Amino acid sequence: METFLNILVSGILLGGIYSLVSIGLNLIFGVVRIVNFAQGEFVMIAMYATFFCFAKFGIGPYYAVFLVAPLLFVLGIVVQRLVLQPLQNEPMMQIFATFGLLILFENSVLAITRGEGYSLAGAYSNTVIELFGLRASFARVVVFFAASAIALGLMLFLSRTMAGKAIRAVIQDRQSARLMGINVERTYLLTFALGAALAGVAGALLAPIYTLSPYIGGNFILAAFAVVVLGGLGSVPGAYIGGLMVGLMESFAGYYVDPALKQAIWFIIFVVVLIVRPSGLMGQAGAEEVGLREQT
């Protein structure tokens, strides 16, 4: 029983990691309909930036996040304006371009760092919380709560604020949104930058957990896409729940079946769910088709 609870907790926390990483992608994919393969690299860059703040200036990751997230926001603006805006109506070329960015970012960081595996030392990584005999790393608990808070915050943002409503309008029907006077291009820019900033938050909060590598982004990107699609495009609660589900699936499959097969298992489950319900768990039915046919 205790083992079961352990796996459950571990799965939820892992789900928190997946949710946090996917939230930014959910906005970008859901709103701007951009297949951003470089999203994992935003997380990676944020992790290195966080490490830099820590190693050079002694700023802990939970403070550095306030520096790193705006940094990624700016990077997002640059990338959207220069690379993705021109490719608005070319989804295949977007895949191509963001894949090129992925290679570019990965190897730039490799060239700078030679691939040495940095880690954030100290209390952030070492602290363990113990409750009712169940143990969890402090850093992961922080990630889980951050993911939940951000998901909630984002839901409120999208439903209560003007900018958020504009984004939702664009998700639903960009042509009509334009007719309503919404500056669609500006919305795209804002959303992409926001998505990048969220990746920045993820990177900063994940830095205490992992050993950094220029290739660590690649570990997350496919899972992030799967979570977003599973949860339902453009649905914030969907991505959040999708992340939790993937985390739980992976945890249980890893323990009760075989750690070597856990990825394969949840990938297969993902494909099966998608086949049965292509719009994802919480997406609008048919949403996978709406908006993908180009609406200029």
Among residues 5, 78, 149, 268, the one that binds another protein under rule CB under 8 A: 268
Among residues 149, 152, 180, 261, the one that binds another protein under rule CB under 8 A: 261
The least CB distance from residue 222 to another protein, in Å, is 6
Treating both helix axes as pointing N-terminal to C-terminal, what angle do 61-79 and 39-57 enclose, rounded to 10 degrees? Answer: 140
Distances (CA, A) of 187 to 19, 81, 94, 175, 193: 23, 12, 18, 13, 10
Contact present, 26 and 33 (Cβ < 8 Å): no
Cβ closest to another protein, residue 17 vs residue 65 = 17
Cβ closest to another protein, residue 79 vs residue 166 = 79
- Indicate whether 103 belongs to the interface with another protein (CB under 8 A): yes
Cβ closest to another protein, residue 40 vs residue 200 = 40
Q: Which of residues 158-197 bind another protein (CB under 8 A)?
A: none
- Angle among Cα 127, 128, 131 to the nearest 5 degrees reads 145
Among residues 57, 89, 145, 175, the one that binds another protein under rule CB under 8 A: 89
- Indicate whether 156 belongs to the interface with another protein (CB under 8 A): no
Q: Which of residues 106-125 bind another protein (CB under 8 A)?
A: 106-108, 110-111, 114-122, 125
Contact present, 97 and 87 (Cβ < 8 Å): yes
Q: Which residues does residue 235 pair with via DSSP β-bridges, in sequence order? A: none
- Indicate whether 210 belongs to the interface with another protein (CB under 8 A): yes
The least CB distance from residue 77 to another protein, in Å, is 16
Among residues 99, 163, 172, 237, the one that binds another protein under rule CB under 8 A: 99
- Angle among Cα 144, 29, 283 to the nearest 5 degrees reads 75
The least CB distance from residue 86 to another protein, in Å, is 6
Query: CA-to-CA distance for 192 and 44, rounded, in angstroms?
Result: 17
- Indicate whether 54 belongs to the interface with another protein (CB under 8 A): no
**DSSP secondary structure code for residue 82 in this structure:** I
Among residues 52, 62, 163, 219, the one that binds another protein under rule CB under 8 A: 219
- Within 10 A of 178 (CB to CB), how many other CB atoms are there? 17
- Within 10 A of 152 (CB to CB), how many other CB atoms are there? 13
The least CB distance from residue 15 to another protein, in Å, is 10
